[in-house]
Amino acid sequence: MTIESSASAAAGRDSDTRQFVTFMVGEEVFAVDMAPVQEIIRVPDVVAVPLAPPSLDGLANLRGKILPIISLRRIFGFDERPNDDSTRAVVIDLGQSLGFVVDRVASVLGVDVRQIESTEDVQSTINMDLLSGILKDVGGHKMVMVLDFAKLISTQFSDIAAVTRGDTGPAQAVGGAESASPADPAISAELQYVSFEVAEQEYAILIEDVQEIVQVPALIVHVPNAPSHVLGLMTLRNRLLPLVSLRRMFGLANREPDDQSRIVVVAFGGASVGVVMDRVNEVLRVPRSVVDPMPGMLARDGNLSDIAEICRLDGGKRIVSVLSVANMFRQSAMQDALNTVDTMKNEDQSAAVEQPVSARSDEEEQVVVFRLGKEEFGVPIENVQEIVRLPDEMTHVPKAPPTVEGVINLRGAVLPVIDLRRRLGLAAVERSDRQRIIVLMIAGLRTGFIVDSVAEVLKVARSAIEASPRLSGEQSLLLARMVNLEKQKRLVQLIEPTHLIEAHQLESISNLAAA
């Protein structure tokens, strides 16, 4: 329920009467002055935030606004209990909106100010410093404790308390992330690809030809009389995107998309097409010396004309076929898909027309989205050097910083690897074949970070990126921004790579890389 404004709430009542919202937490009865109470809602789904105080359940999306949800049971040290039909979140304005989870909301009471007593000589399991008064014999309760939420927040969330005082501290950047360090000559002699699998064969596309990588949507609009390789149309940020199946383009056996399937959005000449792959493997950075042109005789042969180069990895044991986007767009399959969109647009002029990439680039940010548990995180793509599989073995280094899992040999160079779960204070998990190492360039140092899985490469409108609530000092630096996709009910926490390695650890990790 929404609470009326304090002005209208005051109308028609005696000046010696104050209104309170009363609620239960455990066996205790509490009250809060109604003036800062904005509304009372059912407890929403939340996104857990690393490095936040333990009393924070997580962040929720409330009508497009990010709302921290805080457990009063946890603050008071009460036993945990699951939410039920009576559980509510009381949303209070304390410089920013905060939702406090209570077991049950009792009532809204008008209380004579003479019934408000001090907390002196009152015995309770609750810290008396968190109370601003006691209500006696109101609402059928002998004693109701009036919580001072400003004091409560100052003990749990010092950064939120600073906001309520108007002391916001150093400004946090909400715009684009810091640019990656200029590439050194060795890196500039390398090529970067997105690799993927189709029918257990590995292919790759130059990363500059890939606009983004997204999950297969639940709804694909099938187009009557379209060629078999055209799967249909999807909506991607208010524009129509044609989808083609690489399996069908190559005459391979059909397979329904599953949770590992991905859509690689490729661009050529201002047009975009989504190509459905069985799975996306990694982002490869390889020396030019291991990439050979496709033999001329084979390059002229049917579907092989789409393969421009052959990449030889692991001493030739791993062969990756590099697709030419230019050749793919000359294929009738791609042209059929683009013609399908043109037909749809002509039939429905209300369909959004895609803007040229150059016109959108200043208004969008591209991030690599990955998962830790069920939560989604992202890093700016310009900081990502590559994404590689987790090796079977890793060399552990004595006396290394505690977050460092070990080092690996990445094409002849030593790469320090950090367990991102450990860095963010999350519980450890067993190693799996879905885990990946995201290689980031931080302060000129190439460092790998283990994540549970890589989800996609996502283009996000800058208008959908906002500052995260300041919940702790470290969190406000490392997780300063958040992608808020309201329609998708999706929150992606953006990591600032420059803060992933603490200053006092830079030298020791750099020494590992130089070893």
d(CA 152, CA 358): 49
Q: Give the pLDDT score at 338.
A: 67
pLDDT band for position 68 (cuts 50, 70, 90): very high
pLDDT, the chain, mean: 80
440, burial (CB in 10 Å: exposed 0-12, middle 13-18, buried 19+): buried
Q: Give the pLDDT score at 128.
A: 72
pTM of the shown model: 0.73
Residue type, 251: G
Query: Per-residue pLDDT averaged across 405-420, rounded?
Result: 89
| Contact call for residues 277 and 306 (beta carbons, < 8 A) | no
Residue type, 26: G
* Winning range, highest mean pLDDT, from 98-107, 290-299, 356-365, 410-419: 98-107
d(CA 515, CA 108): 67
Q: Give the pLDDT score at 155.
A: 76
Query: Per-residue pLDDT averaged across 114-120, rounded?
Result: 75
Tell me which CATH code domain 6-164 carries: 2.40.50.180
| Contact call for residues 447 and 439 (beta carbons, < 8 A) | yes
The least confident of 22-31, 262-271, 298-307, 385-394 is 298-307
Tell me which CATH code domain 362-514 carries: 2.40.50.180
Tell me which CATH code domain 185-354 carries: 2.40.50.180
Residue type, 58: G
Whether residue 420 has pLDDT greater than 80: yes
SS3 state at 176: coil
Between 1 and 476, the higher pLDDT residue? 476
Strand order in the sheet with 436-442: 291-293, 307-313, 318-323, 201-206, 190-198, 279-287, 384-389, 436-442, 445-451, 413-419, 404-410
| Contact call for residues 36 and 24 (beta carbons, < 8 A) | no
pLDDT band for position 67 (cuts 50, 70, 90): very high
Residue pLDDT, tens place only, 211-265:
888 888 888 887 777 777 888 888 887 778 888 888 888 888 888 888 888 999 9
What stretch(es) of the chain map to CATH 2.40.50.180?
A: 6-164, 185-354, 362-514
d(CA 507, CA 509): 6
Query: What stretch of H or E contains 421?
Result: helix 420-423
Q: Which residue has the tokens 């140092």?
A: 445
Percent of the chain with pLDDT over 70: 80
Residue pLDDT, tens place only, 163-192:
555 555 444 444 444 444 444 555 557 888
| Contact call for residues 115 and 135 (beta carbons, < 8 A) | yes
Whether residue 280 has pLDDT greater than 90: no
Q: Give the pLDDT score at 12.
A: 42
- Write the DSSP string, 329-386: HHSHHHHHHHHHHHHHHHH-TTSPPPPPHHHHGGGEEEEEEEEETTEEEEEEGGGEEE
Strand order in the sheet with 375-380: 230-235, 240-245, 271-277, 262-268, 210-215, 453-461, 364-372, 375-380, 490-494, 481-485, 465-467
pLDDT band for position 13 (cuts 50, 70, 90): very low
